[in-house]
Amino acid sequence: MDTPLEFPCPISPDDGPAVLLGHGGGGLLSQQLLERVILPALGSGGGVLLDAATLSSEAGQLAFSTDGHVVRPLEFPGGDIGALAVIGTVNDLAMLGATPLALSLGLILEEGLSLGTLNRLLKSAAAAAARCGVAIVTGDTKVVERGKADGLFMTTAGIGRIPPGLAIGPAAIRSGDAILVSGDLGRHGVAILAARQELGFSTPLVSDLAPLHGSVQTLLAAGLELHALRDLTRGGLAAALHELCRGAGLGGLVHEPVVPIHPAVAAACELLGLDPLTMANEGRFVLVLPAPQAQTALELLRREHPRAAIIGRIEGQALLLETSLGVRRPLEPGRGEMLPRIC
């Protein structure tokens, strides 16, 4: 491997570099693990790796995605691991403009999991699939020893159909494009943190967990030229914009005062020393499209999410955040894992 591993904090000097909890956080360490270990080991080439891949078939272009889910607790305000597993994969397909067709569902069950809990979570997954108009058509189940799986892990894979001629991705981004978000940020991360009750922290907020393909289809039906989309899961807005800008070879400017953050999210993050721009979401996405189309896109998004906003533009070579005082600083991705077991 040409690039040496630079993972900090080995387990011991003899063990060498080791996987850290922070490698699952969606930020810089996740990027290093992917680019320096996983992709080289699998023989994957360079280029931009998205959450869903485009496949060619006789039926046209297909999108294909897979995702693992290890959220704790299994049930949280606004959702649960069953709904999260289904909606998370549907949203990954939606970021290519795809309509979901079919899902698989893999279960890793921990010995001692209540069958009542399992039944409730599976029914939630089925209800989410029905809401998204997609069928769960295959799956697998394994059981591991007590204490090895936080009760239940789920893995989903999905296939969707991409409309003819549509090519959404970082390669389509152009300087001058507008950057929008589909709603206020950070609700999922704060809801999970409160549900764990480890810090005696409470909030009336619930997770923003919701399918996104309907919003994307509405934008496409309006004839908008969607250059790039990204759902704001692990690593939040900061990680998503870094991935898109790196893939495009461009920078961007985000105006911090107009980024929509609920007051309860802002208060929780200030109290706990967290950055709302790196908090996970499960029902929000970032959109990059030509600036003349930004207002139309905003009006369409606000029909479903009143706090959707135009937050910046693509420009230059660096990704910057402009404060209310006009000061510009780099928009940094999270370096580690703020909240493990979050999605």
Whether residue 68 is contained in a domain is answered as yes
Whether residue 234 is contained in a domain is answered as yes
Query: Each residue's pLDDT tens digit in the chain (343 positions)?
Result: 344 444 444 433 344 477 776 776 667 887 777 788 777 776 665 555 666 667 666 667 999 999 999 999 999 999 999 999 999 999 999 999 999 999 999 999 999 898 889 989 999 999 999 999 999 998 888 889 999 889 999 999 999 999 999 999 999 999 999 999 999 999 999 999 889 876 667 788 999 999 999 999 999 999 999 999 999 999 999 999 999 999 999 999 999 999 999 999 999 999 888 999 999 999 999 999 999 999 999 999 999 999 999 999 999 999 999 999 999 999 998 876 666 777 8
Residues 60, 127: one domain? yes
Residues 150, 12: one domain? no
Residues 207, 137: one domain? no
Residues 192, 311: one domain? yes
Contacts of residue 260, defined as CB under 8 A and 6 or more positions apart, other chains included, come to: 181, 183, 184, 185, 307, 308, 309
Residues 123, 184: one domain? no
Residues 146, 199: one domain? no
Give the residue from 161, 187, 213 where a domain finishes. 161
Residues 157, 200: one domain? no
Give the residue from 132, 161, 190 where a domain finishes. 161
Is 278 in contact with 238 (CB distance < 8 Å)? yes
Count helices and strands in the chain by DSSP H and E runs? 9, 14
Give the residue from 161, 189, 218 where a domain finishes. 161
Q: What is the C-alpha separation between 254 and 257, in angstroms, rounded?
A: 9
Q: What is the C-alpha separation between 178 and 283, in angstroms, rounded?
A: 20
Residues 82, 128: one domain? yes
pTM above 0.95, yes or no: no
Contacts of residue 325, defined as CB under 8 A and 6 or more positions apart, other chains included, come to: none
Helix axes 213-221, 294-302, angle to 10 degrees: 140
Alpha helices per DSSP H over the chain: 28-33, 39-42, 81-94, 115-132, 187-196, 213-221, 236-248, 263-272, 294-302
Torsion of CA 134, 93, 210, 279, to 10 degrees: 150
- Could you tell me which of 59, 91, 71, 48 has the C-alpha nearest to residue 245? 48
Residues 157, 39: one domain? no
Torsion of CA 258, 263, 266, 268, to 10 degrees: -170
Number of domains in the chain: 3
Residues 228, 319: one domain? yes
Whether residue 57 is contained in a domain is answered as yes
Whether residue 337 is contained in a domain is answered as no
Q: What is the C-alpha separation between 145 and 32, in angstroms, rounded?
A: 31
329 three-class SS: strand
Residues 79, 199: one domain? no
Q: What is the CATH number of the domain that holds 151?
A: 3.30.1330.10
Whether residue 336 is contained in a domain is answered as no
> How far is CA 172 from each of CA 98, 167, 168, 198, rounded to the nearest angstrom?
17, 8, 7, 44
> How far is CA 256 from each of CA 92, 151, 224, rounded to the nearest angstrom?
26, 39, 26
Residues 229, 284: one domain? yes
Domain that holds residue 266: 170-330
262 three-class SS: coil
